[in-house]
Amino acid sequence: MVDLLNFIVWNPNPIIGHIGPVTLRWYSMCWLVGLILGYLMMKKLYQQQHIPEEKFDPLIIYIFVGVLIGARLGHCLFYQPDYFLSSWDHIVEMILPIHHMPDGGWKLTGYEGLASHGGVIGMFIGIYLYCRRNQVGWWIVLDNMGICSGITAMFIRLGNLMNSEIIGRVTDVPWAFIFVQDDSYPRHPGQLYEAIAYGIIFLTIFAFYRKKGPKTIGSGFYFGLCLALIFVFRFLIEFTKEVQEPFEAGLPLDMGQVLSIPLVAIGIWSICTSKKRENDHAIKEEKEMSQKKEIKK
């Protein structure tokens, strides 16, 4: 029999309250806080790098829409394709924040299920479209995102913790959580592990940026460091988690680990090639300065 006094009993209400027909959830609010902090951080970076302010505001729209659509589709297609692709009603649920009730009506539920890997893919697509339309360097935006992403990821995982979802495996460690909404067994608080790790990763990458300065933005170093650190940790932390969907039980690696491998590879490649991009940028700047001096003569 489990002694509840030896562990942390976790049973928060996932709903904050209601404003008319709209339900406010901790999960959604944590996403919102994470995105706002990322927004403020990115705006500060743009100012430090003397990028025109009019080029900043469209970026947030592209990223917000890209992350939201990518995270939602990622959850539906990576983790529950058997449900969401089984009928037109479920396809509608995949796209809109509503649920088809047994009595034939529809209920506004919010997006119950967002996948971080899908959010990253959606972010890449959003950034690509933004760069094409606004003539901002692809690697500049990616590096700035690499600096900011950890703080947003931290709050997303805190949202998972408040939702009592993505729970860990049964354990007897003294900091184990008993997620009352799921069962009465002490489990690894995997969401909290990730939130703490992402906060540390954010501080680490920001410290590199403070030391190296804005001139190194555009090399791909910060982007690669962010991807490599976050998804190496994500790969390892999956060993402490329960499988999210039944089909993962028969796999040597779960879906989160499978999706992390290519992102880690991209991150390592970006770090390894960042010095060349930095040197190429320095040579380009030197040529531009020489041309300006020639024109003045």
Enter the tokens of residue 249. 């039980």
Query: Is the separation of the CB atoms in 143 and 217 below 8 Å?
Result: yes
pLDDT tops 80 at residue 33:
yes
- Single-letter amino acid, residue 155: F
- Looking at residue 77, its pLDDT comes to 80
**Higher pLDDT, residue 77 or 266:** 266
Mean pLDDT of the chain: 84
Nearest to 142 by CA among 63, 33, 35: 63
User: Which positions ≥6 away from 92 have C-beta within 8 Å?
Assistant: 98, 100
Alpha-carbon distance values, 219 to 16, 66, 138, 160 (Å)? 42, 23, 10, 33
pLDDT confidence bin for 202, thresholds 50/70/90:
very high
104: its two tokens: 């034939």
Instruction: Tokens for 54, please give them.
Output: 């009019």
Give yes or no for residue 213 having a pLDDT over 90.
no
CB-CB contact of 144 with 218 (8 Å): no
pLDDT on residue 228: 96
Global pTM value: 0.78
CB-CB contact of 49 with 140 (8 Å) = yes
pLDDT of residue 123: 85
pLDDT for the residue numbered 1: 45
* Helical axes 26-48 vs 57-74, angle rounded to 10°: 140
Report pLDDT for 24.
Answer: 83
Percentage, residues of the chain above pLDDT 70: 85
Band of residue 31 on the pLDDT scale cut at 50, 70, 90? confident
Residue 223: pLDDT over 80: yes
Q: Where are the alpha helices (DSSP H) in 163-254?
A: 190-212, 221-237
Is the pLDDT at 156 greater than 50, yes or no?
Answer: yes
At 281, which amino acid appears?
A: H
Quick one: DSSP state of residue 170? B
- 110 is written with which tokens? 């919010």
Cα separations in angstroms, 186 against 102, 109, 173, 179? 34, 29, 8, 8
Which whole number is the average pLDDT over 230-259? 82
Q: Which residues are annotated as a binding site?
A: 157
Residue 248's pLDDT is 67
Per-residue pLDDT of 79-114, as tens digits, reads 778 777 877 777 877 777 666 677 666 666 666 667
Judged against a pLDDT cut of 60, whether residue 3 lies above it is answered with no
Summarised one tens digit per residue, pLDDT across range 56-67 is: 888 888 888 888
